Amino acid sequence: MPYGYTGNILHVDLSSKKHWIENPPENFYRTYWGGRALALYYMLNQMKPHTDPLSPDNLLIFAPSVITGTPAPAIPRYTVCAKSPLTGAQGEAEAGGWWGPELKKAGFDAIIIKGSSPTPVYLYIKDGQAEIKDATHLWGKDTGTTQK
């Protein structure tokens, strides 16, 4: 992961159950470092201004910061962004922990999710690959049971 980037952004469309990997050029990362800046770029460029926040057209974006996953201490941060149903504007949360570094380790600088699946699904990510898998066998179970 030279310079804090993997060079891969995962796009997931739950409506079509398709996904693809975007490989932005290096100058993209010089402008949109990651985290909030990267998430806002995609919200502004891939979502219509008057998108209903509760519609499948809203984007849900997970974006670690540029230094997440590097040897820099105490900085494993990531941002989650979407259009807020409360305000109708961009809403975001920031968190720390292992999730951001694990996403980078799995090979992605961000995940951008849109759409709505008519059936329960989950996103399986490992070693730069992603799969949308059926989750009907997990539906209605508690977290302890699903982890087994």
Mean pLDDT calculated for residue range 21-50 = 93
User: ∠ at Cα 19 (79, 104), nearest 5°?
Assistant: 40
Give the model's pLDDT for residue 2: 56
Q: Indicate the pairing of strand 110-114 with strand 9-13.
A: parallel
Each residue of 109-126: pLDDT tens digit? 999 999 999 999 999 999
Least Cα distance to 10 among 26, 28, 22 occurs for 22
**Whole-angstrom Cα distance, residue 51 to residue 107?**
30
Q: For residue 62, what pLDDT band results from cuts at 50, 70 and 90?
A: very high
Mean pLDDT calculated for residue range 31-42 = 92
Give the model's pLDDT for residue 105: 92
Mean pLDDT calculated for residue range 7-28 = 96
Mean pLDDT calculated for residue range 19-33 = 93
Give me the residue spans of the domains in the chain: 2-147
CATH class of 2-147: alpha beta
pLDDT above 90 for 30? no
pTM of the model: 0.91
- Mean predicted lDDT score pLDDT of the chain: 92
Each residue of 71-104: pLDDT tens digit? 777 778 899 999 999 999 999 999 988 899 899 9
The neighbouring-strand residues paired with 121 are 134
**Whole-angstrom Cα distance, residue 33 to residue 49?**
23
Q: Which amino acid is at 128?
A: G
Give the model's pLDDT for residue 3: 64
Give the model's pLDDT for residue 72: 76
Give the model's pLDDT for residue 81: 97
**CA neighbours closer than 13 Å in the CB half-sphere of residue 14:** 21
Three-state secondary structure readout of 80-110:
EEEECCCCCCEEEEEECCCHHHHHHHCCCCE
